[in-house]
Structure 1
Amino acid sequence: MNPTRTVRAFYQPASYHLLQARYVSTTKTTKSSAVVSAGSPAAATTSSALQTTFPQQIGDLIGTSKPKPDSQSPLAKLPLSSVLRSLVILSFSSSHLLLKPCIYTLSALANPKTPLTDTDRNPLLHWLIKNTIYKQFNAGENKVEVQKSINEIKELGCRGVLLGYAREVLTGESKVSPHDAKVAKQDVDAWLQGTLQGVEMATEGDFVALKFTGMGTQAVHLLQNNLPPSEYMDAAIRKACDATIAKGTRLLVDAEEQAVQPGIENWVMKYQKYCNLQTPGKATIYCTYQAYLKSTPATIAKHLAMAERDGYTLGVKLVRGAYMKIEPRHVIWDTKEDTDICYDGVVEAILTRRYNSMLSPAPESVAKETVPPVNLIIATHNRESVQKAHSVRLQQVQNNEPRIDLSYAQLQGMADEVSCDLINGFEDAARKHPHQVLESPNVYKLLTWGSVQECMGFLLRRALENTEAVARTKDSQKAMMEELWRRIKTVLVRGN
Structure 2
Amino acid sequence: METIAGKARDNNVRIVIDAEQTWYQPVIDALTDELMQKYNALDGGPATCIASFQAYLRRYPQLLDQQIQRADEKGYKLLFKQVRGAYMVTEAERWEREGHEGLGPVWSTKEETDASYNYGIERALSTIAEQVRETGASRLGAVFATHNSISVDLGIRLLEKYGLAKRQEENGKLLLSKEAAGSIAFAQLYGMKDDLTNKITGSIEAPGGFALVVKSMSYGDLRECLPFLARRATENKAVLEGRGGAMAERIRLGREIRRRLTPLN
TM-score band, normalised by the shorter chain?
Answer: 0.7 to 0.9
- Determine if the alignment matches structure 1 residue 256 to structure 2 residue 256: no
Which among 461, 468, 484 is matched to residue 238 of structure 2? 468
How do 1:25-424 and structure 2 match up within 5 A? 237-277=1-41, 283-328=47-92, 330-353=104-127, 373-395=139-161, 396=163, 397-398=165-166, 403=180, 405-424=183-202
Give the 3 Å change call, closer, same or farther, for CA 254–474 of structure 1 in structure 2: same
> Deviation string for 1:24-82 (max 9, x for gaps)?
xxxxxxxxxxxxxxxxxxxxxxxxxxxxxxxxxxxxxxxxxxxxxxxxxxxxxxxxxxx
Taking the aligned partners of 2:245 and 2:91, their CA distance within structure 1 comes to 27
Taking the aligned partners of 1:288 and 1:312, their CA distance within structure 2 comes to 16
Between stretches 299-308 and 474-483, larger displacement belongs to 474-483
What SS does structure 2 have at the residue aligned with 1:258?
coil
Give the 3 Å change call, closer, same or farther, for CA 269–489 of structure 1 in structure 2: closer
> Deviation string for 1:60-115 (max 9, x for gaps)?
xxxxxxxxxxxxxxxxxxxxxxxxxxxxxxxxxxxxxxxxxxxxxxxxxxxxxxxx
Q: How far did residue 284 of structure 1 move?
A: 1.8
Taking the aligned partners of 1:259 and 1:241, their CA distance within structure 2 comes to 24
Give the 3 Å change call, closer, same or farther, for CA 490–308 of structure 1 in structure 2: closer
Q: How far did residue 441 of structure 1 move?
A: 4.8
What SS does structure 2 have at the residue aligned with 1:327?
helix
Taking the aligned partners of 2:197 and 2:189, their CA distance within structure 1 comes to 10
TM-score normalized by the length of structure 2: 0.75
TM-score normalized by the length of structure 1: 0.42
Q: How far did residue 294 of structure 1 move?
A: 0.5
Letter in 1 for 2:149: R
Taking the aligned partners of 2:70 and 2:216, their CA distance within structure 1 comes to 28
> Deviation string for 1:438-469 (max 9, x for gaps)?
97652211122355555455334223224333
Q: How far did residue 310 of structure 1 move?
A: 1.2
> Deviation string for 1:380-405 (max 9, x for gaps)?
11111111111111331239796371
Taking the aligned partners of 1:486 and 1:250, their CA distance within structure 2 comes to 35
Tell me if the contact between 1:283 and 1:375 (Cα under 8 Å) persists in the aligned partners: no
Structure with more relative contact order (C-alpha pairs < 8 Å, separation 6 or more):
1
Taking the aligned partners of 1:489 and 1:461, their CA distance within structure 2 comes to 32
Tell me if the contact between 2:59 and 2:105 (Cα under 8 Å) persists in the aligned partners: yes
Q: Which runs of no fewer than 5 residues in structure 1 stay unpaired?
A: 1-236, 356-371, 431-436
Q: How far did residue 300 of structure 1 move?
A: 2.0
2:133 equivalent in structure 1: none
Q: Which runs of no fewer than 5 residues in structure 2 stay unpaired?
A: 96-103, 130-137, 168-176
Q: How many residues align?
A: 235
Tell me if the contact between 2:147 and 2:239 (Cα under 8 Å) persists in the aligned partners: no
Structure 1 or 2: more strand by fraction = 2
Taking the aligned partners of 1:296 and 1:349, their CA distance within structure 2 comes to 12
Tell me if the contact between 1:426 and 1:440 (Cα under 8 Å) persists in the aligned partners: no
Give the 3 Å change call, closer, same or farther, for CA 354–488 of structure 1 in structure 2: closer
Taking the aligned partners of 1:438 and 1:277, their CA distance within structure 2 comes to 24
> Which of the pair has more CA radius of gyration?
1
> Deviation string for 1:289-318 (max 9, x for gaps)?
111110112222222222122111111110
Taking the aligned partners of 2:260 and 2:217, their CA distance within structure 1 comes to 32
Taking the aligned partners of 2:260 and 2:17, their CA distance within structure 1 comes to 44
Taking the aligned partners of 1:478 and 1:240, their CA distance within structure 2 comes to 40
Taking the aligned partners of 1:349 and 1:265, their CA distance within structure 2 comes to 20
Q: How far did residue 482 of structure 1 move?
A: 3.1
